[in-house]
Chain A
Amino acid sequence: MTQTPETARRTPALRWVRGVAGLAISGVVALAAGAAQARDLRVGLSAEPTSMDPHFHNLGPNNALRRHIFESLVDTDAQMTLKPSLALSWTPRDSTTWEFKLRPGVTFSDGTPFTAQDVIYTFCRVPLVENSPSSFATFVKPFTRVEAPDPLTVVVTTDGPLPLLPTNLTALGILSAKASGASGAVTFAKGNCTGMGTPPRSTDFADPKVSVGTGPYLLREYVRGTQIVLAPNPSYWGAKAAFDKVTMKPIPSTGPRVAALLAGDVDLIESPAIQDLPRIEAAGFTVTKGLSNRIIYVHLDQFDGPDWKTPTIKGSDRNPLRDVRVREALSKAIDRKAIVERVMGGVAQAAGEVLPYPLSGTTKDFPIVPYDPKAAKDLLAQAGYPNGFEITLGTPNDRYINDEKVAQVIAQMWTRIGVKTGIDASTASTFFTRRNKFEFSAYLSGWGADSGDMSNSLNSLLLCFDPAKGLGFTNRGRYCNREVDRLTVEAMATFDEAKREGLLRQASALAMKDYPLIPLHFEVTPWATAKGLRYAPRIDQYTLVMNVELAK
């Protein structure tokens, strides 16, 4: 060992060295003193909107943010029931014409009045958005004519019956024609509108001067990845905004998001992890939970085309999932109550059909398939599988709440009735690509009905897979029942609301009798708020500042 130089002991140099180290530490402590608390609302978002342009990307976070700044003609409340917004009323004149009466006395945040011109401008602009990764153009595609007989009336003519047009319009934020650069009168002509000037590009909307809407808030600042700052719109027609300043910060990782709430960095967070909820509540924060429109289900491959080999199934030379008894057995083998209580911590609701009551076209107390492993085994034996078979269950592992854990529990439950089940979990982006290539014979997935309507769920999940007609596009189990198709398609063209809902109820009940897929549960969305605040849950899972209530 080398000796320590004696000079080094208690020397000025040592003191200097120690001084610098000490200074650095005390600096840290000094800076740690609390900053002034402003009177505002700070929100921790689980996903960042990809653009300020309300028509760029049809994506949950974008649509939620849009509702603060740009209102639509028709809006939805927390239960996804339609309510008047910029339109006071909407009535079908005939099977292809809708008339909208606009709200009088509404002004944009820049002070210009809102008229039918802005509506026409918006419908014209939507298909012009460049490079949209997920376009809103589909909503205006059926429009053949849009006219304004007077400044507060808009008449839309479509190329076929479209009873859901008002619902579709809840997705379109109305732009100010003037702030967007329209010079004179805008006229609608399919693919060839006139008088639009140069429409703003998507990136232009990051500028508060371009982001001009009629909503309760206006854009103050947008720094991508860091924050979105909103301020109250002084000329808003409705109830005055409750907060002077709203700061939205994207914090995609769950752990840091919960930490931000606990540390007091933010006042509201969306989707805290279920396992963190007891801790958040114990620390004095408020947790509110609301049923969502998202079903978690297991799809079963029922395809029997020529040369088709069912992937991932062993121990059978045909596709056992084509036998309704096998599908019923697999459904009865699952203890939904246990999954909801143990895996989901009670934050979910067992499902019988593909959309929860009270959404449009659903049935109250729709029967839930009972847990009955003995009956399941008998059914398997009847179907010719007394010793079961082997199957692999595909699942994403970062898309839905506890998705992989749920899949693991299902695998155990299936194995218990003799269907030896393995798990193939992958990240969402990879999973959906593989699913769309039909790589799984059984997979766990979820579906949120954005329109809050049974026709959307049936059309996506259960109608016969027919890409040409645009039906059953997410029906990767390829269940097909022509009667279900007939009822749903008829409902989609029926204007009478009661009759429409009746047809959808009938279609859903008929489909579920075939065990076309295995409904597991509806997700329940949690929000957590700081003291003095409470979030009123929304079935569409959106986090809207307008739903934040001040506790009395």
Chain B
Amino acid sequence: MLTYLIQRFGQALLTVAAMATLVFLGVYAIADPIDVLAAPDATPDERAAISQRLGLDRPLWMQFATFVWRALHGDLGRSFVYNEPAFTVILQRLPATLELAFTALFIAVAIGLPLGLWAGLRAEKPTDKAIMGGSILAFSLPNFWQGLMLVLIFSVTLGWLPAGGRGETVRVLGLDLGFLTLDGLRHLILPAMNLALFKLAVVIRLSRAGTREAMLQDYVRFARAKGLRPARIVGVHVLKNILLPVVTVIGLEFGSMIAFAVVTETVFAWPGIGKLLIDSINRLDRPVIVAYLMLTVCLFVLINFVIDLIYAALDPRVRLAEANT
């Protein structure tokens, strides 16, 4: 077990290091931040001064070495644009994205699971066909178009919900949370729906397939023969069994929801890390771009690592020692 852990940890470190190099060089290759940051009528002297202040006048290898050295000390650099540590800038935006992702996750499960169960129980009936047709639509629509349509229908035409922004927030334990106020909730619904729709479709299909399979299993027949109420059979025995694949997939999707909420955040002007990334790319705020991508890499490495461990814990057939052979 320990060998396996160490080995996995070493691989994870290698991945992070490789990504750091790629990301830093990639962002460096895009363009010179001075051309975006400096006022257009800045004289060459002023441009040189800015270059020097931001450390952009030094050769690439030196900039990279400084970056690596500082990163090893937990410092991912200072934002060119905000004059704050890049990591702090990202952390300030993280609660908004987490809130959005968790709400989307909640919507996907709270609506998807019952709908999937319902469809599974009534397979091949019109309700089932309607639900399955809807789910196909939900995961084939392009995300940004779907977002614009939501805005067009619910905000512009019907005027029910705000078109974008985050609304009122409340400070709880140092985090600004929006879902505790009515205004915050109203702002949250559309972007969360937009982010959730795809996952919702996935949950529906998974739980429908699971339900159909489970309903034919022996334990369901026995339960029925024993005289258990149908509600208990579905609500306890079937549900428990179909939850396993749903949890696995949702866990995997959660990481991508946090990291790639970019489209939704752009369409709904949601002040999360995705929008920060887009703004930073437009302004060539290299430290923020690099810090964001590093954070994402670490997040995925972590999720994969944890999933590996959970698999091993859940399924005795997965032998960790096998990784050594």
A7, B224: Cβ atoms closer than 8 Å? yes
Listed A/B pairs (19) with beta-carbon separation below 8 Å: A4-B121, A31-B161, A31-B182, A57-B81, A59-B39, A133-B37, A133-B54, A134-B50, A135-B50, A138-B42, A138-B43, A224-B89, A224-B271, A256-B163, A259-B148, A259-B164, A429-B284, A430-B30, A430-B31
Q: Are A262 and B121 in contact (CB under 8 A)?
A: no
Task: Encode contact with A along B269-285: 1 for CB under 8 Å, 0 otherwise.
Answer: 10100011011011110
Instruction: Say yes or no: is A32 at the interface (Cβ < 8 Å to chain B).
Output: yes
Smallest CB–CB gap between A519 and chain B, Å? 17
Q: Decide if A134 touches B39 in the complex (CB within 8 Å).
A: yes
CB distance from A292 to the nearest CB of B (A): 14
Taking a contact as CB atoms under 8 Å apart, the answer to whether A470 and B40 are in contact is no
> With an 8 A cutoff between CB atoms, is B99 at the interface?
no
A432 contact from B36, B53, B160, Cβ within 8 A: B36
Minimum CB–CB distance for B250 against chain A, Å: 17
Q: Is the interface of B mostly helix, strand, loop or mixed?
A: helix
Q: Is B216 an interface residue, CB under 8 A from the partner?
A: yes
A263-B163, A265-B162, A429-B31 in contact; A32/B114 too (CB < 8 A)? no
Mark each residue of chain B from 73 to 114: 1 if its CB lies under 8 Å from any CB of chain A, else 0: 000001011111000010011001000000000010011001
Provide the residues of chain B in CB contact with A4, threshold 8 Å.
121-125
Q: When the two chains form their complex, are residues B36 and A429 in contact, meaning their CB atoms are under 8 A apart?
A: yes
How far is it, in angstroms, between the C-alpha of A436 and the C-alpha of B34 when the chains are bound? 11
Q: A470 touching B233 by the CB < 8 A rule?
A: no
CA distance A402 to B74 in the complex (A): 43
Residues of B within 8 A of A131 (CB): 53-54, 78, 80, 83
Residues of chain A having any CB pair with chain B under 8 Å: 1-2, 4-5, 7-9, 11-14, 16-18, 20-21, 24, 28-29, 31-35, 48, 50-51, 56-59, 130-135, 138, 201-203, 223-227, 249-253, 255-257, 259-260, 262-265, 427-430, 432-434, 436, 447-448, 450, 456, 459-460, 467-468, 470, 473-474
Least distance between A473 CB and chain B CB atoms (Å): 6
- Report chain A residues within 8 Å CB of B42: 134, 138, 473
A233 to chain B, nearest CB (A): 24
- In this complex, the interface size class of chain B, counting residues with CB under 8 Å from chain A, is 35 or more
Q: What is the bound-complex CA distance between A172 and B165, given in angstroms? A: 31
Q: How far is the CA of A225 from the CA of B274 in the complex (A)?
A: 11
Contact with A along B18-39 (1 / 0, CB 8 A): 0000000000001111011111
Question: CA of A430 to CA of B32 in the docked complex: distance in angstroms?
Answer: 8
| In the complex, chain A residues whose CB is within 8 Å of the CB of B185 | 31
Q: Is the CB of B30 within 8 A of A429?
A: yes
Known pairs A224-B82, A265-B164, A428-B282; list 11 more (Cβ under 8 Å): A13-B233, A21-B118, A34-B159, A34-B160, A131-B80, A134-B39, A226-B271, A256-B267, A263-B156, A263-B163, A433-B32
B122 touches A8 (CB 8 A): yes
- Cβ contacts under 8 Å, A468 to chain B: 44
The answer, yes or no, to whether B315 is at the interface (CB within 8 Å) is no
Judged by a CB distance under 8 angstroms, whether B152 is at the interface is yes
- In the complex, what residue of chain B is closest to A36 when comparing beta carbons? B183
Asked if A32 meets B230 with Cβ closer than 8 Å, knowing A13-B235, A473-B43, the reply is no
User: Which residues from B are CB-within-8-Å of A202?
Assistant: 83
Q: Are B186 and A32 in contact (CB under 8 A)?
A: yes
Chain A residues near B156 (CB, 8 Å)? 259, 262-263
Decide: A433 and B31 in contact? CB cutoff 8 A: yes
Q: Which chain B residues border A251 with CB–CB below 8 Å? A: 164-165, 269
A252 touches B121 (CB 8 A): no
Complex formed: what's the CA distance from A507 to B271 in Å?
48
CB distance from A226 to the nearest CB of B (A): 4
Contact yes or no, B31 A260, CB < 8 A? no
Do residues B36 and A256 form an inter-chain contact, with CB atoms below 8 A?
no
Determine if B268 is an interface residue (Cβ-Cβ < 8 Å). yes
B154 interface residue per 8 A CB criterion: yes
Residue in B121, B169, B183 with the greatest tally of chain A CB atoms within 10 Å: B121
Do the beta carbons of A135 and B230 come within 8 Å of each other?
no
Query: Closest approach, in angstroms, between the C-beta of A50 and any C-beta of chain B?
Result: 5
Question: Would you list the 5 A-B pairs with minimal beta carbon distance, nearest first?
Answer: A225-B271, A32-B160, A263-B155, A433-B31, A8-B121
Residues of B within 8 A of A264 (CB): 159
A57 to B152, CA, bound (A): 36
* Docked-complex contact B50 and A16, CB < 8 angstroms: no
Once the chains bind, are A2 and B216 in contact (CB under 8 Å)?
A: yes
CA gap between A188 and B306 in the complex, in Å: 61
State A133–B110 Cα separation when bound (angstroms). 47
Shortest beta-carbon distance, A83 to chain B, in Å?
23
Question: How far is it, in angstroms, between the C-alpha of A7 and the C-alpha of B122 when the chains are bound?
Answer: 10
Residues of A near B32 (CB, < 8 A) are 433, 436
Q: Are A260 and B165 in contact (CB under 8 A)?
A: yes
Q: Are B215 and A8 in contact (CB under 8 A)?
A: yes
Report how far A25 CA is from B319 CA in the complex, Å: 44
**Which residues of A have CB within 8 Å of B282?**
252, 427-429
Please name all residues of chain A whose beta carbon is closer than 8 Å to the beta carbon of B33 when the two chains form the complex: 429
Query: Are A132 and B53 in contact (CB-based, < 8 A)?
Result: yes
| Nearest chain A residue, comparing its CB with the CB of B47 | A473
Contact with A along B222-238 (1 / 0, CB 8 A): 00100001110111000
Q: Is the CB of B114 within 8 A of A21?
A: yes
- Give the Cβ gap from B233 to chain A, nearest Cβ, in Å: 7
The reply to whether A265 and B121 contact each other, CB–CB distance below 8 Å, is: no
**With contact pairs A5-B121, A8-B215, A256-B151 given, residues A58 and B39 touching in the complex (Cβ less than 8 Å):** yes
Question: Which chain B positions have C-beta within 8 A of A467?
Answer: 43-44
Q: Let me know if B199 is at the binding interface, CB within 8 A.
A: no
Query: Nearest Cβ in chain B — how far from A24, in angstroms?
Result: 5
> Quick one: which of A24, A51, A253 contacts B111, CB cutoff 8 A?
A24
In B98-145, the 8 Å CB interface with A consists of 107, 110-111, 114-115, 117-118, 121-125
Q: Report the bound CA distance from A17 to B118 in whole Å.
A: 7
> Nearest A residue to B176 by beta-carbon distance?
A223
Tell me if A8 and B40 are in contact (CB < 8 A): no
Decide if B164 touches A260 in the complex (CB within 8 Å): yes
With a CB–CB cut-off of 8 A, which chain A residues contact B205?
A: none
**B212 interface hit (Cβ, 8 Å):** yes
For the complex, what is the distance from the CA of A265 to the CA of B81, rounded to whole Å?
28
Given A12-B231, A24-B111, A430-B31: A226 touches B44 (CB 8 Å cut-off)? no
Complex CA distance for A245 and B160, rounded to whole angstroms: 23
Shortest distance from the beta carbon of B82 to any chain A beta carbon, whole Å: 6
State how many angstroms separate the Cβ of B148 from the closest Cβ of chain A. 6
Contacts of B229 in A (CB 8 A): 12
- Taking a contact as CB atoms under 8 Å apart, the answer to whether B269 and A134 are in contact is no
CB distance from A26 to the nearest CB of B (A): 12
Q: Nearest chain A CB to B93's CB is how many angstroms away?
A: 6
Question: For the complex, what is the distance from the CA of A232 to the CA of B229, rounded to whole Å?
Answer: 66
